[in-house]
Structure 1
Amino acid sequence: MPLLGLRQNLAQFTLLVAVNALVGGTLGQERTVLPLLATNVFHLGLYTSALTYILAFGLSKAAMNYFAGALADRFGRKPTLVAGWLAAIPVPLLLIFGPNWGLIVAANVFLGVSQGLTWSTTVIMKMDLVGPARRGLAMGLNEAAGYLGVALTALATGYLASAYGLRPAPFLVGAAYVALGLGLSVLTVRETRHHVGVEAAAHVAAHAQAHAGLTSRQVFTLTSVRDRSLSAVSQAGMVNNLNDGLAWGLFPVLFASAGLSVGEIGILAAVYPAVWGAGQLVTGAASDRFGRKGLIASGMLVQAIGLGLVAAGTSFGVWLLAAVLLGVGTAMVYPTLLAAIGDVAHPAWRARAVGVYRLWRDGGFAVGALLSGALADLFGIPAAVAVVGALTALSGLVVALRMRPRDHKAR
């Protein structure tokens, strides 16, 4: 019989952490370079047009997040993970050789499909392995690996872009990540679906509705609307990635317009996910001990303060402080939201609940691209940042008022 627990599954867990670092790296190859590619190479004037790649990424990733849970339940975790890596193969090729913006957008459709399958599956597999007692720690380690991969790759590609140009050098790193991630997933990752039955046998429902016999439609409505805690978590995830989409698409353009060099922009693009990634090593475990609700609500407020500094700032120093605050706030929120989903969802439908949550969360990229692009076109980037900051603070208030604290401390 499979054993649950981090120590009992340390080798496989560590391997999955490494795989998710590579998943994050395939996203990080774009964070510094692609906004500059849009303006400097393809000469896209309107912010809304330039952000089409984030819209494409957000929609495709959100959709695949939803299907990833169902696919992982039906066909297994490992086949879903491998399929995600296969979808990533065209991405660096299109980014390097794409002669028009339409092919760059197409690359981000493939990237969104890949990220939705690979990242969702590593989350599900780690939940399978560790059981409920260390779920926050597990999510902290998973998300830390992914976003440190984003940060280090954003920094590296910023250096490569400044030294060798925007193409092709930065995207060769992404090609190497895809090859390594696919090889590890095929050759060394093991299926974890059989761990679910062990946890399900001992599962204590968080409340009366948390039973095993739910259809996919019931899981969707429960996670999206009906359950107070699950719906509060879903909206917070969406707003979190709304402001991350803003940071991804418009921050480099704002920093460049203020005269910062590509190297300085690369540092700022890396600091935010680096603090976010490293901070989750602490916040995930802290949520196991102290509960989820307080970290989520206060983390959204810290993010809002960071966004306010970005809107008001005009110098590298102020923006560096803002990037740190954004990273801290997101670290408080990101693994905690995932752990909160796992707390309420029954093991039998947890993978589908994670998929629904991640559908809403990564739909925030698309909403952020449309909203921030339109606001930036009408009123300028600082105004767009300020509006998103206000929405982030409001989201934290929704969590404080709607989420049940008793469901969100590890059992």
Structure 2
Amino acid sequence: MNTTTATAPTDTSGRPVRLGLRENWLQFTLLVIVNVAVGGLVGLERTTVPLIGSDVFGLTSDLAVFSFIIAFGLTKALTNLAAGALTGRFRRKQLLLAGWLLGIPVPFVLAWAPSWEWIVGANVLLGLNQGLAWSMTVNMKIDLVGPARRGLATGLNEAAGYTAVGVTALLTGYLATGYGLRPLPELIGAVFVVAGLALALIVRDTAAHVALELAHHAKPVPSDENTGLAATFARTSWRHRSLRGASQAGLVNNLNDGLTWGVFPLLFTDHGLGLAAVGLIKGLYPILWGIGQISTGHLADRIGRKPLIVTGMLVQAGGFVLALALLDHPLLAGILSAVALGLGTAMVYPALIASVSDHAHPAWRANALGTYRFWRDIGYAAGALVAGVLADALGLNATIIAAAALTAASGLLAARWITEHRPEAR
């Protein structure tokens, strides 16, 4: 209605704002492209960096090789948590730009690092970049579309990012086959940095959209409900049953990703596969994870979040089983495992973010998403740590068995704790 438009807050250009994907398609599209660049930057590492550790720098401990993932995961998790609080002091666009400025050195350090410590340091910067840039693209898309299309919005956002992760992993594997592990495969990251920074300068901030949703939200913030970071962290981590269920599922989901990031290149090269084949496996997983979220995000808006979350975790557990059951045929094992892991993660990822958004009031939603993303991305570090310790002590196969059991258990916990709560669109 025209009255809604007339009384709506205005954006930085003085134009009245509306919520909705159709109403904000241009800004939404720009943010999708930004997240392609965000995903592409982290995709540089998926195929080559574990092998750089073992083949270039001569690391013999799996835990030492996986240390770059631990550095990345810890930094990204803490940055996600801080990003929610920082949205109270800075505009989302400012934080998006800051993330890209921090990411500028990453491809060049990966290409020419003189020691492994430099690689680990680059992953601290990469974690800062991903924590700020990816968090802001998620928050800004959710701001634009409003409650009715959260699943679709998060699905498109994550689809763009993780498809770019997969395509870049595939591309770096093929480049490494022809030109070596460094520097050419890593230098394609310069394209992502330039594109991401340029588009972040163009996109408009979404503070007015948050104000509009707050003005029309069905329920005011309860007087006894603290919207600060500390209170929201406790609420999202354990006090709220559904948010607790989403947080633990997110952690285990990215534990799987961190584990496969480090383990799969070593496992399948040990069984005779070359860099191109490993690149195919490492690329297929996030490509399916990415593309699949376009439909699963929309499906989460239609059938609910919980069915996709629970089913997706169990499908991921089956992917690990396939990796070991068919290991005598390593390429087949890798491809089928990647398909199951990719499709399972595609079910889980947008549904979890949408579920957290459903249960969080707009006044503390950024902090809730920051807390959820903290627990989710601490899974990278946990996965690399668990994988390193188990692989050094018991071997790579035992690590995959442990991941399958943990993922299945997480799916059952999600089934017990998570409930549906989708606010009506306004």
What is the TM-score with the length of structure 2 in the denominator? 0.93
- Residue among 288, 307, 316 paired with 1:303: 316
Which of 71, 76, 79 aligns to 2:94? It is 79
Separation (CA, whole Å) in 2 of partners of 1:345 and 1:125: 16
The amino acid across from 1:200 in the alignment is L
Verify: 1:266 aligned to 2:283, yes or no: no
1:50 partnered with 2:90: no
Offset, 1:312: 2.7
Q: Please say if residues 246 and 372 of structure 1, whose CA atoms lie closer than 8 Å, have aligned partners that are also in contact.
A: yes
Which shifted more, 69-78 or 145-154?
Answer: 69-78
Verify: 1:218 aligned to 2:231, yes or no. Answer: yes
> Which has the greater radius of gyration?
2
Query: In structure 1, how many angstroms separate the alpha carbons of the residues matched to 2:282 and 2:222?
Result: 42
The match for 1:154 is: 169
1:137 equivalenced with 2:152 (yes/no): yes
Which residue in the other structure is 1:24 paired with? 39
Asked if 1 retains the 8 angstrom alpha-carbon contact of 2:93 and 2:203, the reply is: yes
The correspondence for 1:236, drawn from 249, 264, 269, is: 249
User: Aligned with 1:354: secondary structure?
Assistant: helix
Return the match for 1:193 from 207, 211, 220.
207
d(CA) in 2 for partners of 1:353 and 1:37?
A: 37
Residues 210 and 346 in structure 1, CA contact (< 8 A), matched pair in contact too = no
Using the TM superposition, give the Cα deviation of residue 373 of structure 1 relative to its aligned residue in structure 2, in angstroms.
0.9
Query: Percent of aligned pairs with the same residue?
Result: 53
Q: How far apart in 1 are the matches of 2:318 and 2:219? A: 37
1:276 equivalent to 2:289? Answer yes
Between 1:90-99 and 1:212-221, the stretch displaced more is 212-221
Deviates more, 1:340-349 or 1:136-145: 340-349
Q: Read off the aligned partner of 2:408 and give its amino acid letter.
A: A
Q: Which residue of 404, 408, 421 maps to 1:389?
A: 404
User: Which residue identity is paired with 1:202?
Assistant: H
1:294 aligns with 2:302: no
- Pick aligned residue for 1:128 from 126, 143, 146: 143
**Counterpart in 2 of 1:227?**
240
CA distance in 2, matches of 1:309, 1:210: 51
Query: Distance in 2 between the 1:210 and 1:19 partners?
Result: 38
Deviation of the 1:205 alpha carbon = 4.7
- Tell me, in whole angstroms, the C-alpha distance in 2 between the residues paired with 1:339 and 1:404: 12
Paired with 1:294 and 1:142, the residues of 2 have a C-alpha distance of: 21
Q: CA deviation at 1:212?
A: 6.7
CA distance in 2, matches of 1:114, 1:410: 34
Which amino acid in structure 2 is aligned with residue 44 of structure 1?
L
In 1, distance between residues paired with 2:168 and 2:331?
20
Within 1, Cα distance between the matches of 2:128 and 2:94?
14
Partner of 1:380: 395
Letter of the 1:59 partner, please give it: L
Q: What's the Cα RMSD here?
A: 1.5
User: How far did 1:180 drift?
Assistant: 1.3
What amino acid is aligned across from residue 21 of structure 1 in structure 2?
A: V
1:410 and 1:368, CA in 2 relative to 1: closer, same or farther beyond 3 A? farther
CA distance in 2, matches of 1:409, 1:302: 29
Hey, what's the Cα distance between the residues in 1 that align with 2:85 and 2:225?
A: 15
What is the distance in 2 between the residues matched to 1:293 and 1:409?
15
CA contact (8 A) 2:143 2:210 kept: yes
Q: Aligned AA for 1:85?
A: W
Q: TM-score, normalized by length of structure 1?
A: 0.97
Give the Cα–Cα distance (whole angstroms) in 1 for the partners of residues 269 and 218 of structure 2: 53
CA distance in 2, matches of 1:343, 1:215: 18
Question: Retained in 2: the 8 A contact 1:77–1:125?
Answer: yes
Displacement, 1:73? Answer: 2.7
How far apart, CA to CA, are the structure 1 residues paired with 2:120 and 2:215?
45
Query: What CA deviation, in whole Å up to 9, does each residue of 1:115-142 have, x standing for no partner?
Result: 0000000000001000000000000000
Moved more, 67-76 or 118-127: 67-76
Choose from 62, 86, 111 the match for 1:96. Answer: 111
Alignment pair present for 1:337 and 2:385? no
- Residue type of the partner of 1:375? L
Q: CA deviation at 1:379?
A: 1.0
What is the Cα deviation at residue 211 of structure 1? Answer: 8.0
Q: Equivalent of 1:170, from 147, 172, 185?
A: 185
Q: Which amino acid aligns with 1:339?
A: A
Who is 1:180 aligned against? 195
In structure 2, C-alpha distance between the alignment counterparts of 1:337 and 1:193, rounded to whole Å: 24
Which residue does 1:248 correspond to in 2? 261
Q: Contact between 2:226 and 2:232, CA under 8 Å: does it hold in 1?
A: no
| Distance in 2 separating the partners of 1:183 and 1:59 | 27
Q: Which amino acid aligns with 2:255?
A: L
Contact between 1:280 and 1:335, CA under 8 Å: does it hold in 2? yes
**Unaligned 5+ runs, structure 2:** 1-7, 9-16
